[in-house]
Amino acid sequence: WPLDTAGGSVHFIVLLNWTVMILYNYFNAMFVGPGYVPLGWAPEKSQDCMYLQYCKVCQSYKAPRSHHCRKCNRCVMKMDHHCPWINNCCGYQNHASFTLFLLLAPLGCIHASFIFVMTMYTQLYNRISFGWSSVKIDMSAAKRDPRPIIPFGLSAFAASLFALGLALGTTIAVGMLFIIQMKVILTNKTSIESWIEEKAKDRIQYYQTGETFIFPYDMGSKWKNFKQVFTWSGIPEGDGLDWPVRDGCHQYSLTIEQLKQKADKRVRSVRYQAVEDYSGVCCPVTKGVKTFFTTPCTEEPRIALSKGDLILATRGLKHWMYGEKILDSAADGGIRERGWFPRKCVEKCQYDSEMDQPMDGEKKSR
């Protein structure tokens, strides 16, 4: 039993500490939240609005490093991702708590795994007898051990083995997430910003502009980047709206790059017209077996289509496409409708002289 020995007492107390710290950081990440850009927010200098994107849902400009979350329906400060396990976004205010949870959960599970392994070893040690051609296991009480032990039958062994599997699985899965988070924290990025940086390199290479994109928020030192997220007070530095930038960079260097990528996406987008109705279900049965089994494994929504709808497709898979439905902005309040739809439900439009898509040579000259 836990308190019968000094070693058992130490393990018991340490396990309780793991549990308390894990649950504290988990619920802190869940209920504190990432922090949201105030509704109606705009930069102090009106001329800075030209560097920012405008969110029609929040009726405000998107502050640097903020992004709109469809799940939370708000613009999130320094958004990293939306986590279904905390039912909230990971961002400016709860990034540290979320990362500590990803660290403490594997450590606690490693400790639990050690206890499970040693429990099964000590309990089975006196129950296993080896013969010349057989191994016998006696799951009744221990034969020679006079010390009081917890009754350990076949059901307890199965439960311990199952719990060991859960602990090891959690250690591997959550530990990998922790490594991913630490990589972006030590460069003072988020997962979204890492993706924006990759797209910036692709854009520069595609158009051969000769420019160099430098991520503005990397302080040049892993320790300085670390302190941007983790502080002794538990409150991250700054206000979530204005950020320190490295020498030679502009406060809006990242948002300017985002605007360039938005313009580039419009240039590369292709207009399609719906030839079949689509209800917007995740796995449509009536659109073919391949479409059913190759549905995108993503939280991004599907959009319902009616015959004759126009869509601007920006990316696609073999049997699915992602794009934005062209709506009447006056009738629909300017709200964009984006998502996945089956490729077989649409066909490429035949462009007239005013809507012709630019050829590769024309794209590179833009």
Q: Which two tokens stand for residue 335?
A: 């709200």
Residues 215, 18: Cα–Cα separation, whole Å: 37
Tokens standing for residue 198: 């990759």
Tell me if 99 sits within 8 A of 181, measured CB to CB. yes
211 three-class SS: coil
Q: Cα(228)–Cα(12) distance, rounded to whole angstroms?
A: 35
CA dist 88 and 268 (Å) reads 33
The question of whether 345 is a catalytic residue gets the answer no
Give the other-Cβ count within 10 Å of 96's Cβ.
21
DSSP state of 311: E
Question: Cα separations (Å) of 366 from 7, 62, 268, 348?
Answer: 71, 26, 12, 24
- Of the residues 55, 69, 83, 283, which is catalytic? 83
Catalytic residue IDs: 83
